[in-house]
Amino acid sequence: MSKLVPIIVIVAVLIAGGAYYTLGKKSSQIAITPENTTVVATEPQKPVAPSAGITVTAPTYNDGVYTADGAYQTPENTETITVTLTLKNGIVVDSSIQQNAREQKSVLYQQVFAAGYKEFVTGKKITDINIGVVSGSSLTGKGFNAAVASIVKQAKA
């Protein structure tokens, strides 16, 4: 029993210190987690009409055919892909890619990307395009997205 008393004292001190530390924090320092969060339902807010004289416009894009290269890093080296997009009212109406890969693995991944990417592009707003993995090709999309970002800059009215 005499060996157990020091252990009990140490555990009690640790618990008391932890409680003091937690309770001594400012409310802005306390982590909010789903377990200690309360959600209160409120009435939806009505949208506020813009003030007179203020006009908010979305960026516009010139119609046309735009081409850009996009680079991406693979484990072996840096590869590129050339992207051509046809825009009409900011919407992609046609697209094509030129596969520029040099490494054999990258050649294969660009081929499977080319076979499956169009469904994520055609008919979409140019600003909504952000391709991830396509048909198992995870890195080619990064090069594609880089080329699209360049085309967005070219096409801005």
Q: What is the pLDDT of residues 27-76, one digit of tens each?
A: 444 444 444 444 444 455 555 555 566 666 667 999 999 999 999 999 99
Q: What is the pTM of this model?
A: 0.64
| Residue 26: per-residue pLDDT | 46
CATH T-level assignment (fold) for domain 64-155: Sufe protein. Chain: A (3.90.1010)
Place of tokens 């506020």: 48
* Coil, strand or helix at 45: coil
